């Protein structure tokens, strides 16, 4: 069962760029890009929490199971 990352969808809904998210979360654009494209092997809970806090969403809004 593949895991789908919908970070790009949430960024569009919040009208936020990856650069702005990077600055607000404290992660590099490269690391966020890897997560956004679904190429990440994993994500730390504190990282997911920080992203959700900035985007005002829940983990289920970003991560989906197909």
Confirm whether pTM is higher than 0.85.
Answer: yes
For the stretch 2-23, pLDDT in tens is: 889 999 999 999 999 999 999 9
Determine whether domain 3-56 maps to CATH 1.10.260.40. Answer: yes
Domain ranges of the chain: 3-56
For the stretch 54-66, pLDDT in tens is: 999 999 999 998 7
- Backbone φ/ψ region at 45: left (φ over 0), alpha (ψ -120 to 50), beta: alpha
């Amino acid at each position: 069962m593949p895991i789908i990352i919908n970070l790009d969808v949430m960024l569009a809904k919040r009208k936020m760029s990856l650069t702005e998210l990077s600055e607000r979360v404290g992660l590099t654009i490269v690391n966020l890009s890897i997560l956004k494209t679904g190429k990440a092997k994993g994500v730390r809970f504190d990282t997911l929490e920080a992203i959700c806090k900035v985007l005002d969403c829940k983990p289920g809004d970003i991560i989906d199971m197909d």
